[in-house]
Amino acid sequence: MAASTYPERPRALVVACGALGRELVALKESTGWDALDITCLPAIWHNHPEKIAPGLRRKLQAAGGYEQVFVAYGDCGSGGEIDKVIEEFGVERIAGPHCYQFFMGTDEFTALTDDDPACFFLTDYLVRHFDRLIVKGLGLDRFPELRDMYFGNYTALVYIAQTEDPRLKAKAEQAAERLGLAFEYRYRGYGELQSFIETAHPVHAGQ
């Protein structure tokens, strides 16, 4: 990815899911947006989505002094609660219900899920932390018989890769085998997250 510089970009804050932290740091570096601060909520909260909106509200309440504040979150199982916080503070979030869609691209993701709605998705972050978040998080290490209850209705594991890393690809293939699913690999880089950062609109946090 070629580096570019954005002169006179405003002092800005992005509040994000922890699963996007590495990618946002890479985008900050590639765009030269030195005045961009990144703060993340725990990615593990996807297992407890009721925690996300209150945590986001606390982050935005503390976001004084920024010319621009925006949010890198999907709905993430919050049942619309994240968007209520977005509206409350008058900030902007990236479009889409989850990171799978904006990493792959809305059109491609929609076409894929229309064709096969029984896909289970992984990103770089989820591949790196598969054992902690999926295996241990769902109790499969202690109760392997739960695998088919959780994943029996899926047909394939689709790895949407942000980086071309053979080690992550191999680990994702192992994850698919462990879950008893067919494996599909799609390298898509940062997708719509990149365009969101590069074309972010000036939006101010409410007080």
DSSP characters over 143-193: -GGGHHHHHTT--EEEEEESS--HHHHHHHHHHHHHHT-EEEEEE-TTHHH
Q: Is the pLDDT of residue 137 over 70?
A: yes
Percent of the chain surpassing pLDDT 70: 92
Residue 148 burial by CB count (10 A; 0-12/13-18/19+): exposed, middle or buried?
exposed
Over the stretch 82-123, which tens digit does the pLDDT of each residue have?
Answer: 999 999 999 989 988 899 999 999 999 999 999 999 999 999
Contact 89, 15 (CB under 8 A): no
- Is pTM, for the whole model, over 0.95? no
Tell me the domains of the chain and their CATH numbers. 12-96+191-198 (3.40.50), 106-187 (no CATH)
Sheet with strand 92-93: strands edge to edge: 36-41, 12-17, 68-72, 92-93
Q: What is the pLDDT of residue 206?
A: 44
**Per-residue pLDDT, 95:** 87
User: Tens digits of per-residue pLDDT, 119-136?
Assistant: 999 999 999 999 999 999
Q: Which helix (H) or strand (E) holds 140?
A: none
Separation CA 65–CA 203 (nearest Å): 13
Query: Taking 60 as the threshold, does the pLDDT of residue 46 lie above it?
Result: yes
The amino acid present at 124, given as its one-letter code, is: D
The Cα–Cα gap between 18 and 87 comes to 22
Residue ranges of alpha helices (H) inside the chain are: 21-31, 52-61, 81-89, 99-104, 106-115, 124-128, 130, 147-151, 166-179, 191-198
Pair of tokens at residue 85: 């916080």
